[in-house]
């Protein structure tokens, strides 16, 4: 079976700073993999290398069996199979929620306006903001904006969804709505690679949890293994700080 994502010996330098130090990593179709770790550990850089928002210094990246890092790769064609949701929602402020979800469909997938609107409305409904379709981003809460951003990614019919700390910019009471949408996607079998600080979500929803620190993968296993019974002291000390911050 072809891996949804395969990363081989991935290195990434920013100047003299080596942020990723030889990552080997796979995600299988239908898996939910959560990547956890302290700030600066390379989690977001790893995610951004998967769809070449960051260009690896060395190594290979495959998505659904196609090598993105090959000099002759059709990066745009592969990127169309990959949805990405960022910390900041990156919605166009001058477009309504509906228009934000339609625009890439029309420009990238060449869907007609009518078809793009049908797909946009379906996905806005799926994430629970169908009633906000004619609102501009400035009128929406952070949680609503993030759900529109998820709808926008889903409207492109991706085979893989990347989430880069999708709840970190949200007020605490809005986090649950976004995580509920992600839970639903997981239940429907969407392949997801999620950088997150939400340990409850990682425990409940992930098939695998990857702990990164210092640009390397320290532990990789089931939530019960990595979060429940970590073997490495670096993992244990991180989880103590995250799960018991008052300790």
The token duo for 48 is: 């951004």
Q: Phi/psi of residue 13, each to 5°?
A: -105, 140
**Residue 210: predicted pLDDT:** 97
Question: pTM for this structure?
Answer: 0.94
Nearest to 198 by CA among 11, 32, 46, 31: 32
Q: For 179-202, what is each residue's pLDDT tens digit? A: 999 999 999 999 999 999 999 999
How far is the CA of 111 from the CAs of 52, 84, 137, in angstroms?
25, 20, 23
Q: How far apart are CA 41 and CA 46, in angstroms?
A: 10
Q: Is the pLDDT of residue 50 over 70?
A: yes
How far is the CA of 30 from the CAs of 80, 185, 240, in angstroms?
18, 10, 30
**Residue 246: predicted pLDDT:** 65
Q: For 63-110, what is each residue's pLDDT tens digit? A: 999 999 999 999 888 888 899 999 888 999 999 999 999 999 999 999
Q: Where are the beta strands (DSSP E) in 81-154?
A: 82-85
* pLDDT tier at 244, thresholds 50, 70, 90: confident
**Residue 172: predicted pLDDT:** 86
The token duo for 76 is: 């745009």
Residue 56 · residue 49 · CB < 8 Å? yes
In the block, residue with structure tokens 């998967």? 50
**Residue 247: predicted pLDDT:** 55
The token duo for 115 is: 């078809």
**Residue 111: predicted pLDDT:** 96
Q: For 146-167, what is each residue's pLDDT tens digit? A: 999 999 999 999 999 999 999 9
Q: For 113-153, what is each residue's pLDDT tens digit? A: 999 999 999 999 999 999 999 999 999 999 999 999 999 99
Average pLDDT over residues 19-28: 96
Q: How far apart are CA 205 and CA 180, in angstroms?
A: 10
The token duo for 117 is: 């609107």
Determine the Cα angle at 215 with ends 15 and 25, to 5°.
Answer: 120
**How is residue 130 annotated by DSSP?**
G
How far is the CA of 213 from the CAs of 38, 86, 126, 239, in angstroms?
7, 21, 35, 12
Q: Work out the burial of residue 66: count CB atoms within 10 Å of its CB; fewer than 13 is exposed, 13-18 middle, 19 or more buried.
A: middle
């Amino acid at each position: 079976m072809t891996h949804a994502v395969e990363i081989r010996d991935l290195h990434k330098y920013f100047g003299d700073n080596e942020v990723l130090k030889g990552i080997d990593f796979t995600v299988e179709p239908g898996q939910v993999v959560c990547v956890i770790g302290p700030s600066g550990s390379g989690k977001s850089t790893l995610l951004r290398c998967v769809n070449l928002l960051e260009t690896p210094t060395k190594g290979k990246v495959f998505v659904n069996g196609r090598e993105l890092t090959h000099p002759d790769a059709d990066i745009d064609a592969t990127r169309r199979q990959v949805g990405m949701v960022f910390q900041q929602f990156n919605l166009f402020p001058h477009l309504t929620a509906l228009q934000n979800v339609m625009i890439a469909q029309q420009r990238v997938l060449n869907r007609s306006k009518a078809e793009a609107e049908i797909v946009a409305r379906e996905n806005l409904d799926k994430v629970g903001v169908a009633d906000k379709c004619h609102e501009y981003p400035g009128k929406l809460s952070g949680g609503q904006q993030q759900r529109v951003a998820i709808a926008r990614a889903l409207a492109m019919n991706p085979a893989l969804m990347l989430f880069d700390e999708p709840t970190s910019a949200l007020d605490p009471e809005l986090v649950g709505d976004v995580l509920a949408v992600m839970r639903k996607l997981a239940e429907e079998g969407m392949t997801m690679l999620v950088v997150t600080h939400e340990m409850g979500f990682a425990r409940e929803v992930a098939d695998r949890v990857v702990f990164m620190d210092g640009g390397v993968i320290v532990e990789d296993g089931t939530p019960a293994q990595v979060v429940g019974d970590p073997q490495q002291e670096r993992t244990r000390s991180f989880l103590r700080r995250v799960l018991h911050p008052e300790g």
